């Protein structure tokens, strides 16, 4: 009995840990601390402003952009190119992607073509676009259109291919026509893939706008960044980069909201 008592103990705990739950407040704090250290480092000369402007200088540069109204000019120019190129590329991409997903002959002929052109880094085509479409808006919009088209095609037909085939078979078993199956089963089923394709193409479009505006653009966030770079104005440069990131985050948030709403049926 004494022996038994000695051997009686709670089962040893060996679980816990490996959790992915974030600690949000610490993140914000780290961030704030980092910016503070950076600012102080710049103020007291530990960080040369040749290498990195102080946060306050970046804010100042941004304020200038804002107050002078050039921010809107640059943003407007970039947005025009982005929206036009991206919308056209996305619409065309979804149409072609669906054609590939639905019709075997289209898949057989257009599929490999798309697969072959897709991996070309679009940015390398910039000089070609300038030759084809000149140095005006057309080449910039065209580059973005081209850059968004192929990933959209691939996301769309990948989405169609990945729609659970039992759902298709279910549709057939209830006597639905091909067109009804395409509309009521394949399209909504491919929507998540199309939307996540949009997320990617939005990021691609922002990268391409920067590249496109390196050449022959007076207005545009990319042009502003390039100008700041060639003038060695790191404060303006970083301000411009931050504007771009904000643009990227906004677009991604918009697509996120769209997803949340359109895909509210998702588990």
Partner 1 sequence: MQLKLSGVGKSYGGLPVLSDISLDIASGEILCLVGPSGCGKSTLLRMIGGLELPDEGEILQVGAPPEGSLNPLTFIFQDFALLPWRSVAGNVSLALESHRAISRAERAAIIADVLSRTKLGDFANAWPKQLSGGMKQRVAIARALAVRPAVFLMDEPLSALDAQTRDILMDDLIELWSRERFTAVYVTHNLQEAVRLGHRIAILSRRPGKIRRIIGIDTPIGARTHQDPELLAIQEELWGLMREEAEAADKELTHG
Partner 2 sequence: AEAVKIGVLSLTSHSAAFIAKEKGYFEEQDLDAELVTFQAAGPMAVAIASGDIDFGVTAISGALINLAEKGAVKVIGGALTEEKGVDGQKILVSNAAYEDGVTTPADLKGRSFGITGTGSSFHYMISQIAEKEGYSVADVDLKALQKVPAIIGALKSGQIDAWSIVPHIAKGLDGSGGAKIIGDVADYIDGYQVTTIFTSTRNVEENRELVERFLAAYSKGIAEFNATMVDKTEGEEAQEATTQLIHKYVYTDRPYEKAAGPIKAGAMRLQPNGRLNIASVEHQLNWFKSEGLVDEAIELDTLVDTSFVETQ
Site for partner 2 in 64-103 (CB under 8 A): none
Which candidate, 12, 233, 149, places its Cα nearest to that of 241?
Answer: 233
Asked if residues 141 and 85 have their Cβ atoms less than 8 Å apart, the reply is yes
What distance in Å separates the CA atoms of residue 114 and residue 110, rounded to the nearest whole number? 6
- For partner 2, the binding residue among 28, 113, 131, 258 (CB under 8 A) is 131
- For partner 2, the binding residue among 232, 264, 266, 267 (CB under 8 A) is 232
Asked if residues 254 and 199 have their Cβ atoms less than 8 Å apart, the reply is no
Q: Which of residues 146-205 bind a copy of itself (CB under 8 A)?
A: 161, 165, 168-169, 172-173, 175, 178, 181, 186, 203
Length of the chain: 267
186 binds, among partner 2, a copy of itself, partner 1, none (CB under 5 to 8 A by kind): a copy of itself
Provide, rounded to whole angstroms, the least separation between the CB of residue 121 and a copy of itself: 5
Does residue 2 interact with a copy of itself by CB under 8 A? no
- For a copy of itself, the binding residue among 90, 225, 235, 239 (CB under 8 A) is 225
Of 108 and 216, nearer to partner 2 (C-beta) is 216
Residue 259 CB contacts under 8 Å (≥ 6 apart), including other chains:
192, 195, 196
Q: Which two tokens stand for residue 76?
A: 């407007």
What distance in Å separates the CA atoms of residue 154 and residue 97, rounded to the nearest whole number? 6
What distance in Å separates the CA atoms of residue 78 and residue 82, rounded to the nearest whole number? 6
Does residue 186 interact with partner 1 by CB under 8 A? no
Q: Which of residues 9-28 bind partner 1 (CB under 8 A)?
A: 9-16
Of 124 and 267, nearer to partner 1 (C-beta) is 267
Does residue 173 interact with partner 1 by CB under 8 A? yes
Does residue 44 interact with partner 2 by CB under 8 A? no
What distance in Å separates the CA atoms of residue 225 and residue 240, rounded to the nearest whole number? 6
Kindly write out the interface string for residues 190-229 of this chain, putting x where it contacts partner 1 by CB under 8 A and - elsewhere.
Answer: -x--------------------------------------
Angle between helices 187-214 and 70-102 (to 10 degrees): 140
């Amino acid at each position: 009995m004494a022996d038994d008592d000695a051997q009686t103990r709670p089962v040893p705990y060996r679980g816990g840990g490996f959790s992915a739950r974030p600690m949000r407040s610490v993140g914000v704090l780290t961030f704030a601390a980092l910016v503070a250290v950076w600012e102080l480092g710049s103020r007291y000369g530990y960080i040369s402003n040749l290498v990195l402007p102080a946060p306050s200088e970046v804010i100042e540069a941004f304020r200038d952009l804002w107050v002078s109204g050039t921010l809107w000019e640059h943003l407007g120019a970039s947005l025009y190119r982005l929206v036009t190129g991206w919308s056209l590329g996305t619409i065309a991409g979804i149409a072609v992607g669906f054609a590939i997903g639905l019709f075997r002959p289209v898949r057989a002929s257009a599929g490999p073509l798309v697969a072959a052109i897709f991996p070309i880094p679009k940015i390398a085509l910039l000089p070609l676009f300038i030759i084809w479409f000149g140095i005006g808006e057309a080449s910039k919009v065209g580059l973005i259109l081209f850059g968004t088209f192929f990933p959209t095609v691939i996301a769309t037909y990948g989405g169609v291919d990945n729609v659970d085939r039992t759902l298709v078979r279910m549709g057939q078993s209830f006597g639905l026509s091909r067109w009804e199956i395409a509309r009521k089963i394949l399209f909504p089923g491919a929507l998540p893939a199309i939307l996540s394709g949009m997320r990617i193409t939005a990021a691609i479009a922002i990268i391409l706008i920067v590249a496109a505006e390196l050449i022959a653009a007076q207005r545009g966030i990319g042009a502003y960044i390039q100008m700041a770079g060639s003038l060695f104005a790191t404060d303006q440069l970083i301000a411009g980069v931050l504007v771009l990131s904000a643009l990227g985050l906004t677009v991604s948030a918009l697509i996120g909201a769209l997803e949340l709403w359109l895909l509210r049926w998702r588990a």
